[in-house]
Chains A and B, each alone.
Chain A
Amino acid sequence: MGGSTLPRMLIEQLRDVISADRVTDEPAELALRSGDFWPKLVMARRRGETPVRPAVVVSPRTTEEVAAVLAWCHANDVPVVPFGAGTGVVGGAVAHPRGVTLDLKAMDQVLALDDISGTVTVQPGIIAQRLEDHLVHRGWTLGHYPSSIHCSTIGGFLAVRSAGQASTGYGKLEERVVGLEAVLADGTVVEMKETPSSATGPDLKRLFIGGEGTTGVITRATLALEPLPDVALDHGVLFPDLASGIEAARMVMRSGVRPTVFRLYDEADTALVFGSQGIDVTEGCLVVFSVEGSEAVARFTHDLVLRVLREAGGDDLGTEPGEHWRAHRHDVSYRFAQYMKPGGEFGDAVMLDTMEVATVWARLPELYSSVRGALDDHCDVVLAHISHLYPSGASIYFTFGAAPVLLAESDPQEPESDAARLYEAAWEAGQRAALDVGATISHHHGIGLLRVPWFAEELGPGAGEVLRRVKDALDPSGVLNPGKLGLGQQRGGP
């Protein structure tokens, strides 16, 4: 009943490569790094299945230690799974049973804050909210506020190309990277200098941002900041239907200004949002938008956005919906347990997940109806909101779930099996619908293990070949996060 499947001799060697207190094969610490918060893993745990565990966990503190560990793993053909906070939702951190889980949280320092350039340089293991607290205390913000800001690392965010709730205004995090350092599979340290922009060949930072740990391990990032806004002006507008809301959103992005946050909820999600405020809304689609910045600029932007929305047929609801959103914007993540635990709010064996897809404006209505229709066939509830707006399009974020015990017409014999089956069916149908519309299968959660079945089609043969050749060039032994992005061989996992 030992925890490790690496020979003891190799583990002892690792304790010479990096100091012994940075290496653990304590069973509890291995078990707690078996994977991330991919709902499929949560459901497997709920069924009582034992998750795969790494052979050993290594916690480097410096780039040099990362390089030493990776070089050793490369030389000994030991797989490496980079691990931040373990809260991704696509299985990107599922352990390898014969591998090293490289826990980067000991690399959590703010290395430099450049008040002149408005940049911060950080190690990858810092929890994003802690970085934001550090910045706010000093008059800055990163402008990156996903719900997982409380429980994810900056390195993890960069590895999957995350987006925050304020991405319409501040951009995705990848757009804020002005400098990067990464370590290759063989321990080579790659420094990509800090610059606002350049014309010096392909942007090599992009080999690692979104690489999900398969091309290299990010060990340092320099990120562009924004001054802490003086004001945040929140507002709500109600549209008669989603189509008019989508058109209004497109017009906002044509108006010459950019709201910081823009969220358009479909009818079902609107009813839920208003319902949580005790307001009975039977029809209509809510827009919540927010503008942050200096007083004059924010006020001008807010007033212009509001005018565009009104002229597009929106009914001004005042500030209350926006303020309610701001006060509760991270609650949904906290509620995950309430829904998913045995005997939770909707009974046992609940299936619940989210799917974030994106496309250009011209195809957005069709994307919504196709994916929604596909999910409806397998779920008891489907909610959606449109956010992360761009001049050329937007993302649609679907929340979908089923409650086989609560809503079954008769007691299901094997509710957990039903939940698992519905989960697989919903994902296949939803991703297939997105691909058929020409949309991207993931806007910001990443590929991990979850989306491997559809990733080849997402890329197409040419781009897929480019990715494979890049992987082979940077990691010829295939030790870096094998199986993720469909690259290399994953062993274990659900």
Chain B
Amino acid sequence: MSELLPTVEDVVDGVLHGTFCPKMCNHVCPVFTATGRHGAAPWGLHTLNAAVIAEAGDPGDGAVSYADVRGCTGCHACEDACLYDLDVPREVRAIRARLVDRDDPAVVRAAVEHVRAGRSPDGRDLPSPPRSCPDASVTVLAGCGDPSEALVAVARLLDAADVEASFHVPDGCCGRILADLGASEQASQQVRALGDALAGREVVAIDPHCIDAVAETGASVTDVWSYLAALVEDGRLRFAPGGGRVTFHDPCVLARDHGVISAPRRVLGAAGLEVTEPEGHGRETVCSGAGMAFALLDEPGSAMLAARRRQQLDAVGLPALTACSRARTRLSDDGWRVTDALVALADRLHDED
């Protein structure tokens, strides 16, 4: 069963079960917490999704609209809390895909057009990849939201570890954001193109959101933090003396979806960057509001999540780092600064690196 491109048939059992649950995961849903909208809570989404599946007028008078199912950031906090491991983001992808077929929402059309024009689904220019090594042993995959400076940082880190790497920036989108929006046909095309580009390669993904897209192609993929941690442990990646104290925002996709929690801390620690944990860290991290194209579908709601998370990070009183470009962009509103952890790492290399 596809994580990225599920069908309604794949999720119908979970939807039914969820509609009868007394909302036991309410307390962990960041969208529900920030917005108070029941349509954004997992139970609300199950109920709306059930109505779409039944093609009924319930729960609203008139069919459930695409906009009604906007309220999910894909953070998987609800899945962690659920005794039955119901995967609400996957369910929402399937339902959005059905609603895209039915309604052709403008926001999805716009995202697809951006990707066709070689931009990210939210209309941004793609990062410029550093020069690839001809005999690369590993291919670094950039996400459409990764800034060029992050790719440069990774290039420097791998160079310092004597790793010969090539860089790949997918045309527009790896498929993840399009799948999140429910543009499943276009997402499939992007995933196929990604698969063609990465065939036979060992892939290291910078943006944790791209991991599932690569996995969909069948290629072998590691997140950049686990990869760097292995280099540190092998003694191949070393840093200059010194450092400082920081706090770290765990990207929910990296920490909860893929269980990568200690690797960033080990690498940051090796670089002399001692992490003081914020309220809500590791598997209990609190979403920034960046995932599942939520900012595209509900900018005010996304901003509310970001404000709450910013408050928690700010309370630590230390420079904040994160390992997700989308989270970094989302949290860096109102003049508040979050640093890309890869950039911070590269700054800790020896001068000669």
Contacts and interface: CB of A to CB of B under 8 A. Distances in A.
B61 A27 contact: yes
Contact of A338 (B17, B27, B44): B17
A33 B38 contact: yes
Given A150-B25, A333-B22, A29 B37 contact: yes
A151 B33 contact: no
Nearest to B22: A37
Nearest to A134: B279
B87 to A, nearest CB: 15
Contacts of B83: 331, 334-335
A-B residue pairs, 10 tightest by C-beta: A27-B60, A31-B59, A32-B38, A105-B36, A129-B27, A337-B20, A334-B83, A337-B21, A1-B61, A341-B20
Nearest to B86: A337
A87 B37 contact: no
A311 B18 CA distance: 47
Contact of B26 (A85, A103, A335): A85
Contact of A341 (B16, B25, B81): B16
B245 to A, nearest CB: 19
Interface residues of B, number: 35
Contacts of A106: 36
Contacts of A42: 20
Interface of A: 1-3, 26-34, 37, 42, 45-46, 50, 59, 85-87, 103, 105-106, 108, 125, 127-130, 133-134, 137, 148-151, 330-331, 333-338, 340-342, 344
A34 B61 CA distance: 13
B36 A150 contact: no
B24 A29 contact: no
B55 to A, nearest CB: 14
Nearest to B64: A28
A333 B26 CA distance: 13
11 contacts: A3-B60, A32-B59, A86-B23, A87-B26, A128-B27, A134-B279, A330-B24, A334-B82, A337-B21, A341-B16, A341-B19
Given A31-B59, A87-B26, A150-B26, A59 B36 contact: yes
Contacts of A30: 60
B47 to A, nearest CB: 6
A127 B60 contact: no
Interface of B: 16-28, 33, 36-39, 44, 47-48, 57-62, 64-65, 68, 81-84, 279
Contact of B23 (A46, A59, A151): A151
B39 A29 contact: yes
Given A127-B27, A334-B82, A31 B20 contact: no
Contacts of B27: 127-130, 149-151
Contact of B38 (A86, A333, A338): A86
A340 B20 contact: yes
B84 A334 contact: yes
B68 A336 contact: no
A108 to B, nearest CB: 7
Given A28-B48, A31-B59, A334 B36 contact: no
Given A32-B38, A129-B27, A151-B24, A337 B60 contact: no
Nearest to A342: B16
A37 B23 CA distance: 9
Contacts of A45: 19
Given A32-B44, A337-B18, A340-B20, A1 B36 contact: no
A87 B27 CA distance: 12
Nearest to B26: A151
Which of A137, A150, A330 has the most B CB atoms < 10 Å from its CB? A150
Nearest to A88: B22
Given A134-B279, A341-B19, 17 more contacts: A26-B60, A27-B62, A28-B39, A31-B60, A42-B20, A87-B23, A105-B36, A106-B36, A150-B25, A150-B81, A151-B27, A333-B22, A334-B83, A336-B22, A337-B17, A337-B20, A344-B20
A105 B44 CA distance: 15
Contacts of A3: 60-61
A108 B33 contact: yes
A3 to B, nearest CB: 5
Contact of B24 (A26, A32, A33, A150): A150
A128 B28 CA distance: 11
Contacts of B64: 28
A29 B26 CA distance: 16
A205 B28 CA distance: 31
B20 A27 contact: no
A87 B24 CA distance: 9
Given A32-B39, A32-B47, A334 B21 contact: yes
Contacts of B279: 133-134, 137
Contacts of A333: 22, 24
Contacts of A108: 33, 36
A9 to B, nearest CB: 20
A63 to B, nearest CB: 17
Contacts of A37: 22-23
Nearest to A21: B300
B261 to A, nearest CB: 18
Contacts of B20: 42, 46, 336-337, 340-341, 344
B19 A1 contact: no
B61 A336 contact: no
A148 B22 CA distance: 9
Nearest to A128: B27
B16 A29 contact: no
Contacts of B22: 37, 87, 148, 151, 333, 336-337
A32 B47 CA distance: 8
A337 B86 CA distance: 12
B247 to A, nearest CB: 14
Which of A87, A151, A330 has the most B CB atoms < 10 Å from its CB? A151
A235 B130 CA distance: 61
Contacts of B60: 3, 26-28, 30-31
